[in-house]
Amino acid sequence: MTVARVIVDVKTRALAKPLDYAIPTVLESRVRVGVPVLVPLGARRVVGYVVDTAAVSDQAALRELEDVLDESLFDEAGRDLALWIAQEYAAHPIDALRLVMPPGSAPSLVRVSAQGGSTWALRKPTVKALEDRVVEVIEAGYTPPGHARLQRSVLDALRAGPVLMSELRAELGPVSAAVKALQARGVVRVTSRRHWRGLKSGPAGASGVRHELTPAQDRALLRIRTVAAGSVVVLDGVTGSGKTEVYLRAIEEVLDAGGSALVLVPEISLTPQTVGRFRARFGDQVAVLHSRLSDGERRDQWDLAACGRARVVVGARSALFARIPGLRLIVIDEEHESSYKQGSAPRYHARDVACHVAATRGVTLVLGSATPSLETRERVLTGEWSHVPLPARVTAAPPPVVEVVDMGEEFKGGNRSMFSEALSCALDAVQDHARKAVLFLNRRGFASFLLCRECGFVPECPSCSVSLTYHEQGSVLRCHHCGHQEPAPRECPRCSSPYLRRFGAGTQRVEAELASRWPGLPVVRMDADTTSGKGGHERALMAFEALTSGVLLGTQMIAKGLDYPDIDLVGVMNADTTMHIPDFRATERTFQMLEQVAGRAGRGDVQGRVIIQTYWPDHPAVVAVAARDPGLLYRTERESRLELGYPPFKRLANIVLSGPDAQGVRAASARLATVLQEQIPSDWDVRGPADAPLSRIKNVYRRHVLVRAPTGAPIGILLGDVLASFTAGQGVSVAPDVDPFDLL
């Protein structure tokens, strides 16, 4: 007989390995990889997922499966990928398995009230497929009797062909009885057809025109076409060099050969424009997957791909786990972006998971960026990945002129405005000549913080170790980490001084200042506050696109991927916001941010202008962008990382311990560091424990321990084994982050 090997849906590392259950004869035909099952565990029942079956000689000591709850939710390829992620990132397998299941498909047990107490009840998924009923004529010669006027009207409506039942009702009113009568006589047939939610065209103006390729684009396409299956191609192209057209051509060739393709983009804000381009070229063969879709829309888009109706999938990082038959090409646009790193368990990096998928399934992986990450550049230097440069823009216009303005000098010269003289004049020109501009400020709200000019008091979040951000709308202070909100005080809570000053301009304040100084210049603001609702990104971009002249003001969501040929000016209001973050990637990320936003200017036939305002004009990131020479930055960063032992020359794991009791967290982190020191190989090392830079969030104290190992070391396996037997203590949670993107 056979047993089922089951991962139970219980979040404890002691149950991270499969448990064996005997399969009752009545369930044998339904048990296969991927099915959710109901199993006994101790004195209770739990949901689990079958990851394998095996023949055994003795089942006497095994308990039996109680029920099979659904059809298979993942196949063997999905299982293998999920279990690899769990091992690679020291994650619980159940978290990884959920990645490869259709959205909203996982059943669960919930506690419900019962007579004399409570009990557990099975809650099945609520996301269901929608169906349309279609009515069509199959006996055209029938004439209804004279009194059956509604039947005659139905047949008249069906003369042109099949019609949806909902459309008949909308046109003729209640028609169910009439249709049933015609159906009973064999005159019409009623069939069900899947109704697909979320099938919408992209933004107006998206063009499906196939542009003539430049020689550099031709070389890139040839390389993608000819590399061995499972290879990685790095498309290193300056902003405006036509990377998207290369993606489109490569996908065309894949589709012509009968395959499918996946395209990942880093920001939801990029999805509307990207989807518009891909749907203009490939029509309804495109499925879209991202977090702003409803549960039903996301499930339908997943199913469109799984059944092969949509052969091009576009989406954010989670789209990587869609079931795509015949997958032959994966494209990751803006591969350097931090949003490809998952922030909660399992903390995978989409780029690295895509590399694994490419290698194990024979899929070509294309990584595109104007500012490739240092990790990607290093793998190009070693010859592991293929490199294709796109060094010039596809338009005739030269690269934008970059001007760096020292705001310290502006202040010394008497300019107290947030706008330098150069940026003010440039905005005058935008208004006078009816052109468009982008203003970038990576800080939402009206001001970063309030400060009492008499005693130095700064209002802080009562639950987090950060200052509160001032928002003009509603005159409130808000924490952007936990959501705490309180009215802004009119006087200092500490010394009662009325001199509370707003420091550090946010997007709301810049918007107010623009309205005051350039009242005739329309402004579209894009930040987390203005795009929070469904379709918010798309509405903002369409509003900006519809303007003859105006300003797009926003945070990092406008810094990349947007392609508008009528933007002449880009202004960086404050380049210093990411320079001093206590993280080893701060300089690289500052450069990438500045280079990307600068690339929004001059994408048409007119040379653009970029004005970077900063209090640190000699910062390596600013110097490299102004000189249009990424090598200036990457050479110094590479030397620094090599000397200090940071990625890509070492592999890191950041283990964050957190809890409501500071002493408990401190004690647990010290014990964990000791255990790790005892168990790691001799060429690894442990740093810490220490307070995390964000040492308290939502009244939870945070400390971290850093493990450093050679590149390629099985750091996730060791951490998984250590943490499976480590007891943190009451109320203390342990969250490992393998290959962290930041150390905050």
pLDDT tens digits along 142-189: 888 888 889 988 888 888 888 888 888 888 888 889 989 999 989 889
| Whole-number pLDDT of residue 546 | 82
The residue whose two tokens read 């992209």 is 202
**CATH number attached to the domain at 215-390:** 3.40.50.300
Pick the closest to residue 456 from 414, 422, 503, 510 (CA basis): 503
Instruction: Out of 3.30.70.600, 3.30.930.10, 3.40.190.10, 3.30.360.10, select the CATH number for domain 650-738.
Output: 3.30.70.600
With a cut of 70, list the residues of the chain below it in pLDDT: 58-59, 115-120, 126, 129, 197-208, 268-272, 396, 443-449, 451, 453, 456, 465, 472, 480-482, 502-505, 533-535, 560-562, 580, 582
Q: Which residues contact 387 (CB under 8 A, 6 or more apart)?
A: 233, 234, 236, 380
Q: Which residues pair with 8 in a beta bridge?
A: 48
**CA dist., res. 299 & res. 101, Å (int):** 10
**CA dist., res. 493 & res. 210, Å (int):** 63
Inter-axis angle of helices 586-598 and 630-644, to 10 degrees? Answer: 160
**CA dist., res. 562 & res. 574, Å (int):** 20
Report yes or no: 312 and 288 within 8 Å, Cβ to Cβ: no
**Residue 739 per-residue DSSP state:** S
**CA dist., res. 505 & res. 446, Å (int):** 6
Q: Which residues contact 671 (CB under 8 A, 6 or more apart)?
A: 726
Q: Write down how long the chain is.
A: 744
| Whole-number pLDDT of residue 118 | 64
The burial of 517, by beta-carbon neighbours within 10 Å (0-12 exposed, 13-18 middle, 19 or more buried), is given as middle
**CA dist., res. 498 & res. 454, Å (int):** 9
- Helix or strand or coil: residue 52? strand
The CATH architecture of the domain made up of 2-123 is: 3-Layer(aba) Sandwich (3.40)
The burial of 625, by beta-carbon neighbours within 10 Å (0-12 exposed, 13-18 middle, 19 or more buried), is given as buried
Q: What b/e string do you get for 653-671 counting C-beta neighbours within 10 Å, with b at 16 or more?
A: bbbbbbbeeeebbbbbbee
| Whole-number pLDDT of residue 490 | 85
| Whole-number pLDDT of residue 447 | 47
Report yes or no: 213 and 245 within 8 Å, Cβ to Cβ: yes
**Residue 211 per-residue DSSP state:** P
* Same fold yes or no, 215-390 and 401-444+506-640: yes
What phi and psi values does residue 292 have, to the nearest 5 degrees? -85, -5
| Whole-number pLDDT of residue 204 | 42
Pick the closest to residue 51 from 34, 36, 39, 38 (CA basis): 34
| Whole-number pLDDT of residue 263 | 95
- Name the residue ranges covered by the structural domains of the chain: 2-123, 130-195, 215-390, 401-444+506-640, 447-505, 650-738
The burial of 631, by beta-carbon neighbours within 10 Å (0-12 exposed, 13-18 middle, 19 or more buried), is given as exposed
**CA dist., res. 39 & res. 492, Å (int):** 60
Report yes or no: 232 and 251 within 8 Å, Cβ to Cβ: no
**CATH number attached to the domain at 401-444+506-640:** 3.40.50.300
pTM of the model: 0.83
Structure tokens at 186: 């064999």
